[in-house]
A and B are shown apart, each in its own frame.
Chain A
Amino acid sequence: MREVFVEIERCTACKSCEIACSVQHSKSKDLFTAILERPAPIRRVHVERALNFSFPVRCMHCLDAPCMAACPVGAMYRDQELGSVHVNKERCMGCWMCAMVCPFGAITADYVMKVARKCDFCRKRVKEGLLPACVEACPTGALRFGETEELVKSKRLSAAERAAKAVAVSMEPGEMTPLEMLRTMGGV
């Protein structure tokens, strides 16, 4: 499965993801035309502030999604290929139950079109092999897209590197143990 991960320490609150999301959800898909469209396109990612950080909040496409369980008309459904959660606009009756139960505040109410609006995982783009628009727009790599296992693995690798650096710095020069000898020859 593929996911979007957020590296909160990299977010500069530039809101590029917000703009890209609006453009992606416009009719024209072009910034200069999209700003003139009515109704205006609605973004599905919101950069919010917490402590001294900023965080792009978007739908996490939960595996056990409360929005799906809460919807009284079965308007929320899962894309079987991507595993992402979507709104069936025909069914949605605008009760906002999904928004109420979402732990992330990732669902907004569109009072003009009378439907719930949420991240659609840029489903079409992703199926065409493109990155989700917010990920592509992020200039610092705070939003990353990839296979879940690879994203998690890269986190493990950076954790390991951090630990190794800490040890390497604090190590006293002394008698060479067999393990250290192995290390000088390319690692353990």
Chain B
Amino acid sequence: MAVKNFDRPTQMLVERAAALKIDTGVQRLEAQQPQCGFGQLGTCCRMCYMGPCRIDPFGEGATMGVCGATADTIVCRNLLREEVGGASSHVGHARHVVASFKKMLEGKAPYRIADREKLMEVASGLGIETDGRSDTEIALEVVEKAVEDVTRQDDGPMNWIRLRAPAKEMEMWRDLGILVSNAHNEIEEAMHRTSMGNDADPVNLLLACLRIGLVDGYAGLHMATDFQDIMFGTPEPRMIEANMGVLEKEKVNIAIHGHNPVLSEKILEWAVKLEDEAVREGARGINVVGVCCTGNELTMRHGVPMAAHNLQSEVILLTGAVDAMIVDMQCIWPSSTRIAECFDTRVITTESFVKIPGAVHVAFEPEHADEEAQRIVRLAIEGFKERKGKEVFIPAEKSVGLIGFSVEAIVKVLRKLNPEDPLKPLIDNIVDGNIYGAVGFAGCPSIKLRATEMTDRMAVELLRRNVLVVTTGCTAHICAQAGLMDSAATEKYCGEGLKAVLRALGEAAGLDVPLPPVWHMGSCVDNSRIASLLCALAGRLDVKISQLPVAGSAPELVQEKAVSIGTWLLALGLTVHIAPSPRILGSPVATKTLTEGLLNLTGGRAYVELDPVKAAEGLYDHITEKRKALGI
């Protein structure tokens, strides 16, 4: 069986799987080749039972579905449904965190307010009276405001849009008629709109996509980040280790995979508290490692090692060294349990709506978080007992990185350079061209593009051209593993201008080395942090976000969530690079609108390019245009 050529540790484990006759995504992708053309173009419609209908992209066969829907209608409806999948995930995530926070405030769940300053910032931003009131009273009102964003019926803009959106863009959205009021209503309407016999106007459907983009950005990403920071703390810079080499043979290895820190924070807490039990069973301790985005949450707040990105989430199990993989929601491959059963690994599901055959299910409720976290940690210790003494296969590779770049942390460093106007040093360096521009990477590792090292190669190409890279989610894992979050990468990859800036910032931060050239800003919900930074920069310069010399990129698109995040960025006016292409090419209207027409509406534009070098050049050219327009 031909195997792909991944980075060494991934490749080693994929080959180990092949030797053990265990299938991984590599074989499963191979078995799916070639993939359906109608699906790739977005021209297959399954919305009703007169179908399924397909539009012949070559014009020889059917040009309409049974109901008369054209390729444009079908593609745009399908795209909107993808957006709903993505936005529902983020809104659901945020709602879970808000609900847990509320239970804590009511004294029903064992959590606390970790960042009071952030609570006050959010409260005053929401117009909540803080003087003379207790933290709990204030926090309960913040919760009310959050709940309003999924309950209100008055058509007023969502509270979190008013709290976090830039003023100019908010006006633009009002003019476009897409200023949304209630996330759940929007999701309902999008499903309604796309069911058989409703919206057939491709442009109207694309505007609905922008609405869902805003739902995702504000009732999903921003809301989740705000509550998580208040509940678990706002990240600060710290050194971490990354890659599968962070597993330790002699310790109980607990891999936490998924997205929601309400679970992973408790597991981490109890892994520390129950270390003695592990030692009694012959382990040298408990080693909690992070996979996917909950890994990002834990590393940003506690420096937990970043063990694996999403593509490696099944591969890491082939080490045989993971005693328990605890998952909550989103991006959990059903293959995990099939691989785990070949070893002593327990896969533990915790969410009532995320169950996998072959997994142990421990229903995790915030009210009983302590009891359930203990039970889970003990299941991991049991796994270790079974594994003890057996051969494991842990690739040696691990890299180091400086991570934890919340906006607050960035501003703190900048404040040392200019206490009154912290953004000024950043802006001065952008104007001078030392920082030529910035690109934010988000999203997943794609099994289709990982062999070409799409993300890492794009990053290196951008850094060489003095373009700063900020990242979240699994692209952050990729960059950390590639060593791009290590100070040494600044000297190795950056152009002279960027190198000088990062050296100066390193000094300001009290380090004797430069800051790394790729800034880890958090999990995928923390794309909100990138937006906050852009919002602050645009506000300080009194320009629209679309005028900034910046761009977004989902270099290895996998998840519907990346589609809805990307659409939010389009609504904000950003150029968004995507690879592979979203499923829109079957519709001339969708393709033209998203790649050109949108420029006249929001200033945003989708840009598809699968070659990492060309994509970096394309984004560089875009930044050059923006600089010219600003006269810098």
Contacts and interface: CB of A to CB of B under 8 A. Distances in A.
B37 interface: yes
A35 B54 contact: no
A72 to B, nearest CB: 27
B61 A18 contact: yes
Contact of A42 (B36, B40, B60, B586): B60
B34 interface: yes
Contact of A15 (B34, B38, B581): B38
Contacts of B34: 16, 20, 136-137
B585 interface: yes
Contacts of B581: 32
A41 B59 CA distance: 9
Nearest to A25: B58
Interface in A19-69: 19-20, 22-23, 31-32, 34-35, 40-43
Interface residue tally on A, bucketed by range: 10 to 19
B contact face: mostly helix, strand, loop, or mixed: loop
Contacts of A20: 34, 37
B57 A19 contact: yes
A19 B56 CA distance: 8
A35 B585 CA distance: 9
A18 B36 CA distance: 11
B60 A40 contact: yes
Contacts of A136: 34
Contact of B36 (A16, A34, A35, A41): A16
A23 B40 CA distance: 13
B41 interface: yes
Contact of B37 (A31, A40, A41, A42): A31
A14 interface: yes
A1 to B, nearest CB: 26
A139 B30 CA distance: 12
Contacts of B37: 16, 19-20, 23, 31
Contacts of A43: 58, 60
Interface in B186-202: none
Interface in A133-188: 136-137, 139
A15 B6 CA distance: 33
Given A15-B54, A16-B34, A136-B34, A31 B60 contact: no
Interface in B568-613: 581, 585-586
Contacts of B58: 22, 34-35, 40-43
Highest count of chain B CB atoms <10 Å: which of A18, A20, A41, A43: A18
B57 A35 contact: yes
A152 to B, nearest CB: 27
Contacts of A23: 37
B323 to A, nearest CB: 38
A35 B38 contact: no
A23 B59 CA distance: 13
A20 B57 CA distance: 11
Contacts of B61: 15, 18
Given A14-B36, A20-B34, A40-B60, A31 B54 contact: no
Contacts of B586: 35
Contacts of B57: 19, 22, 31, 34-35
A16 B608 CA distance: 24
A34 B56 CA distance: 12
A22 B61 CA distance: 12
Highest count of chain B CB atoms <10 Å: which of A22, A34, A42: A22
A19 to B, nearest CB: 4
A159 B38 CA distance: 35
Interface in B10-57: 34, 36-38, 40-41, 54, 56-57
Contacts of B54: 15
Interface in B63-111: none
A14 B34 CA distance: 13
A40 B57 CA distance: 9
Highest count of chain B CB atoms <10 Å: which of A15, A34, A41: A15
B59 A31 contact: no
B41 A40 contact: no
11 contacts: A14-B36, A16-B36, A19-B37, A32-B40, A32-B41, A32-B581, A35-B58, A40-B60, A42-B60, A43-B60, A137-B34
Closest 6 CB pairs of A and B: A19-B37, A35-B57, A22-B58, A40-B58, A32-B585, A137-B34
Given A16-B34, A35-B586, 7 more contacts: A19-B57, A23-B37, A31-B37, A34-B57, A41-B58, A137-B34, A139-B36
